[in-house]
A and B are shown apart, each in its own frame.
Chain A
């Protein structure tokens, strides 16, 4: 079983990597055929990834977040899944150039990180926990897209402001499109992580009889939530947009990365995968 899982993971990483190369070539030579090939590789990677994850779930009979590699892998899956959905809906091709390397990075992190199991796996069987994990992962994946859109916005805005047009000027969509992508991601992602936080608290309350533990990951999660709450509020209240919104989306996702990667590896908590 383990071998086949490893094989699926390797195939998935390879397909994502080829897709990434395709998307990078697409930036240089804007040809629909290249985009189509890159897209199909990413899609094939996603299918293989999904099969791999289903096999894993069938094997461990719980959410595939019991080890650090599983967590990274699931996050990569969520990012690619949300990208594919966004691509079908909004057709911003060059977004793939920014998203697909992210997927590869998380797949590589997944295979590079140690895979100790959490001792008490009984903890992972609960409706609230399933909800917590699902909403958090999809929400954070959508914020990863907002992060990419933010970077794209900053590049494009800089080119227009400084009047120095590089290769990306033609490939990147208009500022308006990138800014509305930021907003769309926010309106999907924010409710999801809000549900994620609440279900997490409910679960914590049920398991540890206390909603709040001053656990580093809990604190960081709330900080992240606050960053996005501020962005959403300012967008709606005073019409924040453009550069500021893009920078906030980048800061927000950096906070997610710190929460997710940093806290999991470095700090000791019940969210961590390294127990003493």
Chain B
């Protein structure tokens, strides 16, 4: 049986100096992939490189030789000696390799646990592997499985559901206050990367419009254009509180620009509709006493950071549940791998044929109740010999297959042809989804 090996390094095993070297060389992942394909002991290979990790996944029938040539290649690529590189590398074999890939795909191994980008990066790398024809039956199945495991983890655990950035945390809070952001208007006071990002996220989550206020009209106009919003006069900032619902403030002002009295006065005209202040500025723009007014909520940068820290901790907790799912799925994959041999395939082919035969015979005999014992016996014998003769050649073919170099390919086709795997349909659906994804990318 072929062995599955994963060799790689990540932010935990290698310092940034090493990782950036890898990232610099491997902007074009096709390079290493082509080199991998030339390594003789490797049957299939897959190469992933992101800013925080590099992973080589391959299958081989000669374990030690496979590992040493891959380590040698990596050392060559990064112009290091194998011995110098080794302390940063991890090597996983079979089940452990499968589990590691699943953990990476589920973003359990990421710097920010639960961040969703990694799955897209794996899909991209897999697409390159299929284009370069370096992935075959085993890695195809394994990568597809990793996508579905990642999907399962995402829906069954809350690993990616809580905000870990300021702008997401702000949107999440806004939803806990307003439920829906549709029809709400946000006021952006001042400018700055974080504030603009928050405004963007609010818009993406349904906020109807952005009003921009800035000391310099020019800046206000350019921001308003960017968000398809309107501008408000700096002098009449407080008046805007009558019509906006969410205020993001990020000015360089050393004095508070809105005090509690100004806000309180506007609440009556607002008929107490809630106001949500997001004060990103340091020093703070909004008088902290504003938070004490009924139906007014004020969050400053530290408050938002507190939420983010809490959510990070929660993700780590959810990771334990994800590990459980991964262990179970890795076991399932192992089960499939074991069927990719000649004898198990013949057994399941016979079983399937016998199942069909029995079911059909049962149906026929059920309809004909006048049959004698001998006649029933004859039907049994007849059907058995039909099945046997039909399967004779395919089984002979499969037996000869064990001597072929690409036997996994033949076995895979045989299993698909007779639909011997129960989750066949699932796999096909995933394959369709993947090709749909690639359509979107192109």
Give the B-binding residues of A (Cβ under 8 A).
Answer: 156, 160-161, 163, 165, 169, 173-177, 238-244
Contact = CB atoms under 8 A, between A and B. Distances in A.
**Interface footprint category on B:** 20 to 34
B54 interface: no
Given A175-B177, A176-B178, A241 B299 contact: no
B179 A177 contact: yes
Contact of A243 (B176, B177, B295): B295
Contacts of A175: 176-179, 274
Interface in B282-314: 291, 294-295, 297, 299, 303, 306-307, 310
Contacts, number: 50
Given A160-B177, A173-B179, A239 B294 contact: no
Nearest to B276: A160
Given A177-B179, A238-B271, A243-B294, 12 more contacts: A163-B307, A165-B307, A174-B179, A175-B176, A175-B179, A175-B274, A176-B178, A238-B268, A241-B271, A241-B272, A242-B272, A242-B294
Contact of A163 (B178, B271, B306): B306
Contact of B176 (A160, A240, A244): A160
B178 A174 contact: yes
B272 A240 contact: yes
Nearest to B298: A161
**For the complex, would chain A's binding face be called helix, strand, loop or mixed by DSSP majority?**
helix
B317 interface: no
9 contacts: A160-B176, A160-B297, A161-B291, A169-B176, A174-B176, A175-B274, A238-B268, A239-B273, A243-B295
A174 B177 CA distance: 5
B299 A242 contact: no
Nearest to A164: B306
Contacts of B297: 160-161
A244 B274 CA distance: 13
Contacts of B175: 174
B176 A156 contact: yes
Interface string B151-179: 00000000000000000000001011111
A90 to B, nearest CB: 12
B280 to A, nearest CB: 15
A163 B299 contact: yes
A257 B310 CA distance: 40
Nearest to A162: B291
Given A173-B179, A176-B178, A243-B295, A160 B271 contact: no
A208 B330 CA distance: 80
A174 B180 CA distance: 9
A239 B271 contact: yes
Contact of B177 (A169, A176, A238): A176
Residue among B177, B272, B307 having the largest count of chain A Cβ atoms under 10 Å: B272
B307 A176 contact: no
A242 B273 CA distance: 9
A176 B179 contact: yes
Nearest to B304: A163
Contacts of A241: 271-273, 295
Interface string B248-287: 0000000000000000000010111110000000000000
Contact of B294 (A169, A176, A244): A244
B206 to A, nearest CB: 13
Interface string B316-357: 000000000000000000000000000000000000000000
Given A160-B173, A161-B291, A163-B299, A242 B274 contact: yes
A72 B176 CA distance: 36
A244 B294 CA distance: 8
